[in-house]
Chain A
Amino acid sequence: MTIDIDRAEQIGFSPAPPPPRGRLSPAVGRILGAVSDARGLKRLAVVLATYIACMALFALVVALQHASPWGVYDTLFRSALVNDGALAEVLTRAVPISLAALAVCIPARAGMVNVGGEGQLIVGAVAACGVGVALGGKFPGPLGWVLMGLAGMAFGGAWAVVPALLRIKLAANEAVTTLLMNFVANDLMLYLIYQPWKDPTGGGQPESRPLVGNMVLPNLGNSLTLSMLIALAVAVGVWALLQRTGWGFALRVVGGNQDAARRVGLPVQGLLVSSMLAGGALAGLGGMLNLAGSQLQLVPGGTATYGYIGFLAAFLGRNQPVKVVLAALVFSAIFIGNSGLELNYGLDGSVVDVLLALLVAAPLWLSRGRKEAF
């Protein structure tokens, strides 16, 4: 009997030798096992070649704009890793991106597609701004942060629950409705900052009143801020929620096979809605942290497509919290380079989108031969 290796790998059976036990972690062992035979090496080479090809495509685009590709990559590298304050910038931006990415992960476990991270970030920031400005700078800090966070989570969750309900009650596809809600959220924010919430001291610029005094999340020294710690804690919490609680397990069952979940007696509709609620709440919290930790004011484009970048990071990280946060960090690092590219090479502000898209196109291209959809 011949063994069809491709089919065997598809169903998860690996003919490779078992990973070495002992001091090496299973992941490292698996990597070593994968690379140690010829097929694994070939696969690795293909993966590397794809990423290099994508980076070369970006270099081509940049060259067409009369900018040196080496210089561009050098600027990106420096902005992310070398320059003063680079690390702080990267981590600061990684906060909303990673929370938006986690906001995609939780509903994805249950099989729901949440593309509304952007809108949920925005309404979370709006809610936090409303609470923070109303409370004022003299209100006790920690209590104020909690209130802002709760407001952000509530509004973000609500923004996600609406499409969720539309999906379960009326079979309206949530990928499309969450997308449309993003635009509504953006218009809502623009309305608020151009009219009722406009900052009278802002010199005519469209922005809301800034958060002041105790409402601002503090720096903890050494380029670490409270919002980063909170985001990290939340990421760990999401991992624990998904991997170590009954709810997380139930979500996975629903995501795997809704009919089976229903027959086993799981409250499928409630789980679907609660997964979107949790996702939206996470993104709302991310919006609040972004506002209170770094932006301090609502401005047009304040969330700068972080929601969509979070979606791409979630895709890259295969919806697993640890990998997703790592992907978010990488994307944040690339994103930082944007202003440098604008300043040094006169490239348009959206040029980084091209690089990000190409970097996600690489694993999409490599989808062939994988059983799962991502």
Chain B
Amino acid sequence: MNGVEQALSGGIESGTAILFPAIGELIGERAGVVNLGTEGCMLAGALAAYATGAVTGSAWLGVLAGIAAGAACGAAHAVMVVVRGANQLASGLVLWFLAVGLTAVLGTSYVSQAVNPLPTMKISFLGSIPWVGPVLFDHDPLVYIGFGLVPLTWWVLYRTRAGLVLRATGERPEVVAVSGRRPQLFQIFAVTVGAGLAGVGGAQLSVGYTDSWFDDMTNGYGFIAVAVVLFAAWRPLFVPAGAYLFGVALASASVLQAHGVAVNQYLLDALPYLVTIIALVVVARRSGANAPEGIMRALSYAT
């Protein structure tokens, strides 16, 4: 595999770690709740997956544990925001702080333990297509699940009644309430599911892509996921573009280094965040009108 293929292939794998939290955050934001604690949910998922994988020997049980851990964090945020009426941004950041601290404390004993990572499955026929194959079809199964998650989310949001109510909850919860449903339940459900997906993203990071655990290993990728949702203008079909773009930027850094290109590591580390900010800027203007009304209210809370 040459350098470009390596970067793209690695980009798909690491991009999957962004895709899951991004889709999750999209679901939550469509319901009207911003979760800045997505980073924390990812961390919780990463540690839970790694720890469970180390203890039980099965990375798949780890993924399930990751979902549970992420969903638990998300449920806490959902209760704070929906039931107790807390400020969404502050609650998310508090959740992040809590997760950083808890995972650092609880995860110290797992840093040096080894884990069986998720197996790489090459899809036999598609994986042999000369150029596209190794890039797209030679990864761990979570990547393939990610491929399917996007159209599934689109379908649920736009072609089912539940999705319609969810979107309505993000626009005007009062209307949903008047129609006889409980918007709070939809919001809590959406945030919890979204955070569970973030947990999967974290699991992908720890047992799928890097096969390791260390303090704060998500390094801001959860915030990138929040940015990707803005970048995609809250449309599920556009989320992969942002997620994989970021993943490629991330993977390029290590590929460039491996090939001895003399660019400082930290400048390369900053590249993904800069790419995301630029992407946000390029897209933001025309996407502002697309925002669910509830989100515009939530994101402009300051005092």
Contacts and interface: CB of A to CB of B under 8 A. Distances in A.
A210 interface: no
Given A349-B104, A354-B105, A173 B97 contact: no
Contacts of B85: 367-370
A45 interface: no
B266 A188 contact: yes
A216 interface: no
B277 A180 contact: yes
A234 to B, nearest CB: 21
Q: Per DSSP, are chain B's interface residues mostly helix, strand or loop, or mixed?
A: helix
B86 to A, nearest CB: 4
Contact of A166 (B223, B226, B281): B281
B288 interface: yes
Interface stretch (A23-31, A143-151, A356-364): A356-364
Contact of A184 (B86, B105, B106, B270): B270
A185 B274 CA distance: 11
Contacts of B100: 350, 353
A366 B84 CA distance: 7
Contacts of A319: 302-303
Contact of B91 (A107, A179, A350, A364): A364
Contact of A373 (B80, B87, B101): B87
B276 interface: yes
Interface string A226-262: 0000000000000000000000000000010000000
Specify which of B83, B230, B300, B303 lies most central, judged by the most chain A CB atoms within 10 Å of its CB: B303
B101 A111 contact: no
B69 interface: no
A364 B94 contact: yes
A108 to B, nearest CB: 4
B144 interface: no
B131 interface: no
B104 A365 contact: no
Interface string B258-286: 00000011110110011011001100110
Interface residues of A, number: 62
A155 to B, nearest CB: 16
B222 to A, nearest CB: 10
Specify which of A65, A184, A315, A374 lies most central, judged by the most chain B CB atoms within 10 Å of its CB: A184
Interface in B64-108: 80, 83-87, 89-91, 93-95, 97-98, 100-102, 104-106, 108
A357 B281 contact: no
A354 B100 CA distance: 8
Given A61-B102, A357-B98, A113 B89 contact: yes
Nearest to A189: B266
B299 interface: yes
B125 interface: no
Contact of B97 (A170, A353, A372): A353
A308 interface: yes
Interface in A148-170: 166, 170
Contact of A354 (B102, B223, B274): B102
Interface in B112-155: none
Nearest to A309: B97
A267 to B, nearest CB: 19
B264 A171 contact: no
Given A188-B270, A364-B87, A175 B36 contact: yes
Q: Ordered nearest first, which 8 A-B pairs have the shortest CB separation?
A: A353-B101, A354-B101, A187-B270, A350-B104, A357-B98, A171-B288, A191-B266, A357-B97
11 contacts: A170-B281, A176-B226, A180-B276, A183-B220, A315-B87, A353-B101, A360-B97, A365-B84, A367-B87, A373-B87, A374-B87
Interface of A: 61, 64-65, 107-113, 115, 166, 170-173, 175-177, 179-184, 187-188, 190-191, 194-195, 255, 308, 311-312, 315, 318-319, 347-358, 360-361, 364-370, 372-374
Given A108-B303, A194-B265, A361-B94, 14 more contacts: A61-B105, A111-B302, A113-B300, A173-B299, A175-B89, A177-B277, A183-B223, A255-B303, A347-B105, A348-B215, A357-B98, A357-B101, A360-B94, A366-B84
